[in-house]
Amino acid sequence: MADHSEVLRGIRKYPGVSYPTLVPNMTGLKAAIEAGAEEIAVFASASEAFSHKNINCSIEESIRRFKEVTEHAIKSGMRVRGYISCVCGCPYQGAVKPEEVVRVASLLRKLGCYEISLGDTIGVGTPGSVRSLLNILLDPTAERNADEKFSSSELAFGIKVIDSSAGGLGGCPYARGASGNVATEDLVYMLEGMGVSTGVNLPKLLEAVHFIHGVIGRPPVSHVAQVMAPPSVGLRLKEDSHL
Protein backbone atom coordinates (compact mmCIF):
# COMPACT_ATOMS: atom_id res chain seq x y z
CA MET A 1 0.00 0.00 0.00
CA ALA A 2 3.04 2.26 0.09
CA ASP A 3 2.33 3.76 -3.33
CA HIS A 4 -1.46 4.15 -3.03
CA SER A 5 -1.23 7.91 -2.63
CA GLU A 6 0.89 8.19 -5.77
CA VAL A 7 -1.58 6.06 -7.73
CA LEU A 8 -4.60 8.01 -6.52
CA ARG A 9 -3.00 11.32 -7.45
CA GLY A 10 -1.92 10.05 -10.85
CA ILE A 11 -5.11 8.51 -12.22
CA ARG A 12 -7.58 10.45 -14.33
CA LYS A 13 -10.86 10.63 -12.41
CA TYR A 14 -14.20 10.59 -14.22
CA PRO A 15 -17.48 12.02 -12.89
CA GLY A 16 -19.81 9.40 -11.44
CA VAL A 17 -17.02 6.85 -10.91
CA SER A 18 -16.01 5.79 -7.39
CA TYR A 19 -12.36 5.31 -6.51
CA PRO A 20 -12.42 3.61 -3.09
CA THR A 21 -9.07 3.41 -1.31
CA LEU A 22 -8.22 0.60 1.08
CA VAL A 23 -7.41 2.12 4.49
CA PRO A 24 -6.11 -0.09 7.34
CA ASN A 25 -5.56 2.59 9.99
CA MET A 26 -5.49 6.33 10.76
CA THR A 27 -2.13 6.76 9.06
CA GLY A 28 -3.62 5.33 5.89
CA LEU A 29 -6.69 7.53 6.21
CA LYS A 30 -4.56 10.67 6.55
CA ALA A 31 -2.63 9.71 3.41
CA ALA A 32 -5.88 9.00 1.55
CA ILE A 33 -7.33 12.39 2.49
CA GLU A 34 -4.15 14.18 1.42
CA ALA A 35 -4.29 12.34 -1.92
CA GLY A 36 -7.85 13.50 -2.52
CA ALA A 37 -9.74 10.28 -1.80
CA GLU A 38 -13.51 10.63 -1.55
CA GLU A 39 -14.25 7.05 -0.53
CA ILE A 40 -12.38 4.52 1.59
CA ALA A 41 -12.71 0.81 2.25
CA VAL A 42 -12.11 -1.15 5.45
CA PHE A 43 -11.85 -4.91 5.63
CA ALA A 44 -12.61 -7.55 8.22
CA SER A 45 -12.77 -11.33 8.16
CA ALA A 46 -15.56 -13.74 9.00
CA SER A 47 -12.87 -16.16 10.21
CA GLU A 48 -10.99 -15.60 13.45
CA ALA A 49 -8.06 -17.69 12.22
CA PHE A 50 -7.73 -15.70 9.02
CA SER A 51 -8.04 -12.39 10.87
CA HIS A 52 -5.06 -13.32 13.04
CA LYS A 53 -3.01 -14.52 10.06
CA ASN A 54 -3.88 -11.56 7.83
CA ILE A 55 -3.82 -8.55 10.18
CA ASN A 56 -2.55 -10.10 13.42
CA CYS A 57 -5.61 -9.40 15.55
CA SER A 58 -9.05 -10.79 16.35
CA ILE A 59 -12.22 -9.78 14.52
CA GLU A 60 -13.36 -7.69 17.49
CA GLU A 61 -9.98 -5.94 17.66
CA SER A 62 -10.09 -5.15 13.95
CA ILE A 63 -13.54 -3.60 14.31
CA ARG A 64 -12.33 -1.45 17.22
CA ARG A 65 -9.41 -0.26 15.09
CA PHE A 66 -11.73 0.68 12.25
CA LYS A 67 -14.11 2.60 14.51
CA GLU A 68 -11.84 5.66 14.74
CA VAL A 69 -11.04 5.45 11.02
CA THR A 70 -14.66 5.29 9.88
CA GLU A 71 -15.85 7.98 12.30
CA HIS A 72 -13.17 10.40 11.12
CA ALA A 73 -13.75 9.53 7.45
CA ILE A 74 -17.51 10.07 7.66
CA LYS A 75 -17.04 13.38 9.52
CA SER A 76 -14.71 14.40 6.69
CA GLY A 77 -17.48 13.74 4.17
CA MET A 78 -16.10 10.47 2.85
CA ARG A 79 -18.08 7.34 2.06
CA VAL A 80 -17.00 4.07 3.67
CA ARG A 81 -17.35 0.63 2.11
CA GLY A 82 -16.85 -2.57 4.09
CA TYR A 83 -15.30 -5.84 2.96
CA ILE A 84 -15.67 -9.25 4.57
CA SER A 85 -13.21 -11.99 3.61
CA CYS A 86 -13.59 -15.75 3.89
CA VAL A 87 -17.40 -15.68 3.78
CA CYS A 88 -17.56 -19.20 2.33
CA GLY A 89 -14.51 -20.81 3.87
CA CYS A 90 -11.10 -20.22 5.42
CA PRO A 91 -7.73 -21.81 4.52
CA TYR A 92 -6.93 -22.13 8.23
CA GLN A 93 -10.17 -23.04 10.00
CA GLY A 94 -12.15 -24.57 7.15
CA ALA A 95 -15.89 -23.92 7.04
CA VAL A 96 -17.23 -20.53 8.13
CA LYS A 97 -20.73 -20.36 9.59
CA PRO A 98 -23.16 -17.92 7.90
CA GLU A 99 -23.97 -16.56 11.33
CA GLU A 100 -20.38 -15.33 11.62
CA VAL A 101 -20.73 -13.46 8.34
CA VAL A 102 -23.97 -11.90 9.58
CA ARG A 103 -22.28 -10.82 12.81
CA VAL A 104 -19.37 -9.13 11.05
CA ALA A 105 -21.71 -7.51 8.49
CA SER A 106 -23.78 -6.04 11.32
CA LEU A 107 -20.66 -4.67 13.01
CA LEU A 108 -19.50 -3.03 9.77
CA ARG A 109 -22.91 -1.48 9.22
CA LYS A 110 -22.79 -0.01 12.72
CA LEU A 111 -19.49 1.60 11.78
CA GLY A 112 -21.29 3.42 8.98
CA CYS A 113 -20.42 1.31 5.92
CA TYR A 114 -22.94 2.14 3.18
CA GLU A 115 -22.28 -1.15 1.37
CA ILE A 116 -20.65 -4.46 2.26
CA SER A 117 -18.70 -6.68 -0.13
CA LEU A 118 -18.82 -10.42 0.53
CA GLY A 119 -15.53 -12.05 -0.45
CA ASP A 120 -15.04 -15.75 -1.12
CA THR A 121 -11.31 -15.35 -0.56
CA ILE A 122 -10.18 -18.84 -1.57
CA GLY A 123 -12.90 -19.63 -4.09
CA VAL A 124 -14.60 -22.51 -2.27
CA GLY A 125 -18.13 -21.14 -2.57
CA THR A 126 -20.72 -22.90 -4.71
CA PRO A 127 -24.07 -21.60 -6.01
CA GLY A 128 -25.74 -23.58 -3.23
CA SER A 129 -23.55 -22.30 -0.39
CA VAL A 130 -23.76 -18.69 -1.60
CA ARG A 131 -27.55 -18.89 -1.86
CA SER A 132 -27.75 -20.33 1.66
CA LEU A 133 -25.58 -17.50 2.96
CA LEU A 134 -27.60 -14.81 1.20
CA ASN A 135 -30.88 -16.33 2.36
CA ILE A 136 -29.72 -15.70 5.92
CA LEU A 137 -28.12 -12.30 5.28
CA LEU A 138 -31.07 -10.94 3.34
CA ASP A 139 -33.84 -12.49 5.42
CA PRO A 140 -36.53 -9.75 5.44
CA THR A 141 -37.86 -11.03 8.77
CA ALA A 142 -34.51 -10.45 10.46
CA GLU A 143 -34.55 -6.92 11.85
CA ARG A 144 -30.76 -6.80 12.01
CA ASN A 145 -30.56 -7.09 8.23
CA ALA A 146 -33.31 -4.66 7.28
CA ASP A 147 -30.90 -1.96 6.13
CA GLU A 148 -28.11 -4.15 4.76
CA LYS A 149 -26.71 -3.55 1.29
CA PHE A 150 -24.47 -6.29 -0.01
CA SER A 151 -22.11 -6.82 -2.91
CA SER A 152 -21.74 -10.38 -4.16
CA SER A 153 -22.08 -12.39 -7.35
CA GLU A 154 -25.62 -13.69 -6.85
CA LEU A 155 -27.83 -12.06 -9.50
CA ALA A 156 -30.86 -14.10 -8.49
CA PHE A 157 -31.09 -12.07 -5.27
CA GLY A 158 -31.16 -8.77 -7.13
CA ILE A 159 -27.57 -7.95 -6.21
CA LYS A 160 -26.07 -5.78 -8.93
CA VAL A 161 -22.64 -4.89 -7.54
CA ILE A 162 -19.93 -7.45 -8.26
CA ASP A 163 -16.27 -7.06 -7.38
CA SER A 164 -13.74 -8.21 -9.97
CA SER A 165 -10.22 -7.46 -11.18
CA ALA A 166 -8.92 -6.73 -14.67
CA GLY A 167 -7.03 -9.78 -15.85
CA GLY A 168 -7.84 -11.58 -12.60
CA LEU A 169 -4.97 -9.80 -10.87
CA GLY A 170 -4.66 -9.83 -7.12
CA GLY A 171 -5.02 -12.53 -4.52
CA CYS A 172 -4.11 -12.75 -0.86
CA PRO A 173 -0.60 -13.87 0.19
CA TYR A 174 -2.02 -15.21 3.46
CA ALA A 175 -4.59 -17.48 1.82
CA ARG A 176 -3.45 -20.69 0.15
CA GLY A 177 -5.19 -21.11 -3.18
CA ALA A 178 -6.13 -17.43 -3.53
CA SER A 179 -4.10 -17.00 -6.71
CA GLY A 180 -6.21 -14.17 -8.11
CA ASN A 181 -9.61 -12.56 -8.37
CA VAL A 182 -12.55 -12.96 -10.74
CA ALA A 183 -11.42 -11.52 -14.08
CA THR A 184 -13.48 -8.48 -15.06
CA GLU A 185 -13.37 -9.39 -18.75
CA ASP A 186 -14.76 -12.89 -18.09
CA LEU A 187 -17.49 -11.38 -15.93
CA VAL A 188 -18.42 -8.71 -18.49
CA TYR A 189 -18.50 -11.29 -21.31
CA MET A 190 -20.78 -13.57 -19.28
CA LEU A 191 -23.17 -10.81 -18.21
CA GLU A 192 -23.46 -9.31 -21.68
CA GLY A 193 -24.13 -12.80 -23.01
CA MET A 194 -26.97 -13.09 -20.50
CA GLY A 195 -28.48 -9.85 -21.75
CA VAL A 196 -27.28 -7.83 -18.76
CA SER A 197 -25.88 -4.49 -19.90
CA THR A 198 -22.75 -3.59 -17.94
CA GLY A 199 -21.81 -0.33 -19.66
CA VAL A 200 -18.25 -1.65 -19.97
CA ASN A 201 -16.41 -1.39 -23.30
CA LEU A 202 -14.98 -4.92 -23.56
CA PRO A 203 -12.40 -4.20 -26.33
CA LYS A 204 -11.03 -1.26 -24.33
CA LEU A 205 -11.00 -3.38 -21.20
CA LEU A 206 -9.01 -6.07 -23.01
CA GLU A 207 -6.48 -3.48 -24.16
CA ALA A 208 -5.98 -2.46 -20.53
CA VAL A 209 -5.69 -6.10 -19.43
CA HIS A 210 -3.01 -6.92 -21.99
CA PHE A 211 -1.18 -3.70 -21.20
CA ILE A 212 -0.88 -4.41 -17.49
CA HIS A 213 0.09 -8.03 -18.07
CA GLY A 214 2.78 -6.82 -20.42
CA VAL A 215 4.08 -4.59 -17.63
CA ILE A 216 4.22 -7.43 -15.08
CA GLY A 217 5.62 -9.85 -17.65
CA ARG A 218 3.10 -12.67 -17.67
CA PRO A 219 0.14 -13.56 -19.90
CA PRO A 220 -3.42 -13.01 -18.64
CA VAL A 221 -5.10 -16.06 -17.17
CA SER A 222 -8.69 -15.25 -18.08
CA HIS A 223 -10.39 -17.15 -20.91
CA VAL A 224 -11.71 -14.04 -22.65
CA ALA A 225 -8.33 -12.27 -22.61
CA GLN A 226 -6.68 -15.32 -24.14
CA VAL A 227 -9.09 -15.74 -27.07
CA MET A 228 -10.12 -12.13 -27.68
CA ALA A 229 -6.83 -10.23 -27.75
CA PRO A 230 -7.18 -6.76 -29.32
CA PRO A 231 -5.69 -6.41 -32.85
CA SER A 232 -2.77 -4.36 -31.57
CA VAL A 233 -1.86 -7.11 -29.12
CA GLY A 234 -2.20 -9.78 -31.79
CA LEU A 235 0.15 -7.79 -34.04
CA ARG A 236 2.75 -7.50 -31.30
CA LEU A 237 2.53 -11.24 -30.62
CA LYS A 238 3.01 -11.97 -34.32
CA GLU A 239 6.03 -9.68 -34.47
CA ASP A 240 7.52 -11.27 -31.37
CA SER A 241 7.22 -14.72 -32.96
CA HIS A 242 9.84 -13.70 -35.57
CA LEU A 243 12.46 -12.86 -32.95
As annotated, the active-site residues are 172
Question: Could you please report the per-residue DSSP string of 78-143?
Answer: -EEEEEEE-SS-BTTTB---HHHHHHHHHHHHHTT-SEEEE--TTS---HHHHHHHHHHHT-TT-G
Please tell me whether residue 26 adopts helix, strand or coil conformation: helix
* Structural contact between residues 10 and 37, judged by C-beta atoms closer than 8 angstroms: no
- Residue 32 DSSP one-character state: H
Residues in the chain: 243
Between CA 40 and CA 229 the distance in angstroms is: 33
Q: Is 146 exposed, middle or buried (0-12, 13-18, 19+ CB in 10 A)?
A: exposed
- Secondary structure tally for the chain: helices H, strands E: 10, 5
- Residue 12 DSSP one-character state: P
φ, ψ dihedrals at 154, nearest 5°: -105, 90
